[in-house]
Amino acid sequence: MGIENAWTIVSASERVCSLTFGAEDYTADLGGVKTKEGEETSYARRRLVNAARAAGVQAIDSVYGDVADLEGLREWARRSRALGFEGMGCVHPRQIPVIHDSFAPSLEEIQKALSIVAAFEEAERRGLAVVSFGSKMIDPPAVE
């Protein structure tokens, strides 16, 4: 019910600053099997991100339980970031550097972002609200 009521929960108080859930508990409640790929939690994770973002709070993904599988953790965290999570829990200190690395923007992403902002600022100076950047249209939401 927590996932079904994610919006109600996250918007219940101005003191709520993040939203997360227990993937292991959720999977057990469904009667499913927890897998490395996490398809069994996909709906819940997407719904949680949507509710958190709509409320303007951080979406924090569940822990990755296999503390020995750092490559699996790296892949999980990469997918979590792509879904819109801003971080995730961990169950062992050895997971911290992998999680930090996975959620930090790469040098390529930083350089691209700086180029987009520069191109947009130049367009604004010329009185334009939209600019082409390579083959893509860049408008205020893309700049954000």
d(C-alpha 26, C-alpha 130), whole Å: 43
* Torsion angle, alpha carbons of 137, 138, 140, 144, to 10: 130
Q: Exactly one of 66, 69, 101, 139 is catalytic; which is it?
A: 139
Q: Is 139 a catalytic residue?
A: yes
* Residues tagged active-site: 139
